[in-house]
Amino acid sequence: MKNLLRSAAIAVASTALVAGGATAATAQGSSPAATSASNVSTTANVSTAVAPYPIDYKSKIRVKKVGKKLTFRFTARYRDDAGRPVGIRKVTLQVLKKGKWRTQKNVKLNRKGTGTYKRTDGKKRKYRMVIKPTSLYQGGRTVSVKI
């Protein structure tokens, strides 16, 4: 049933693109069936309308601290239609400084969706992992980790 709904959402969005002659489509309603030719917009983002895969619940950030050296380990995946985990290739490490989340590093991950990043910092800070959405998978972020 879930796969049927995903394929229906993609079919409706692609039909709206072809019928309207536009380059992008957005869904105005909460259901995939709400997308029609009248909802076609040339400035909208396709990834928000058609991203069929949510982030896997096992996607996480782990931090290990030894002295002032921090080691971040990332796991970022989504599950395809067959239920197999597929690795996401890039995540962003953010740090909370002066009340704002700032990008610390864009980390490239291997094909399994895992990777590491090391840095030195003597202060206690909050960190989080952010996955930017694409047309294939939905984005997301982890809860903050204070270390």
The CATH number assigned to the domain holding 116 equals 2.60.40.730
| Poorest-pLDDT segment among 2-6, 55-59, 64-68, 125-129 | 2-6
Please determine, for residue 14, whether its predicted confidence score (pLDDT) is greater than 60. Answer: no
Is there a domain that residue 122 lies in? yes
Q: Are residues 35 and 83 in the same domain?
A: no
Q: Are residues 64 and 46 in the same domain?
A: no
* CA neighbor of 49 nearest in space, from 2, 21, 12, 88: 12
Return the residue matching tokens 């002295």.
67
Q: Are residues 6 and 35 in the same domain?
A: yes
Is there a domain that residue 132 lies in? yes
Number of compact structural domains in the chain: 2
Q: Are residues 116 and 140 in the same domain?
A: yes
Q: Are residues 30 and 70 in the same domain?
A: no
* CA neighbor of 139 nearest in space, from 43, 47, 4: 47
Is there a domain that residue 16 lies in? yes
DSSP 32: G
Q: Are residues 97 and 142 in the same domain?
A: yes
pLDDT single digits (tens) 23-65: 433 333 344 444 333 333 334 454 446 689 999 999 999 999 9
Task: Give me the percent of the chain exceeding a pLDDT of 90.
Answer: 65
Residues 6+ apart with CB under 8 A from 126: 95, 96, 144, 145, 146
Q: Are residues 29 and 65 in the same domain?
A: no
* pLDDT value at residue 3: 54
Start-to-end CA span in the chain (Å): 42
Cβ neighbours around 58 below 10 Å, total:
11
Structural domain boundaries enclosing 31: 2-50
Q: Are residues 16 and 82 in the same domain?
A: no
Please determine, for residue 16, whether its predicted confidence score (pLDDT) is greater than 50. Answer: no
Task: Give me the percent of the chain exceeding a pLDDT of 70.
Answer: 66
* Burial class (CB within 10 angstroms; exposed 0-12, middle 13-18, buried 19+) of 86: middle
Is there a domain that residue 55 lies in? no
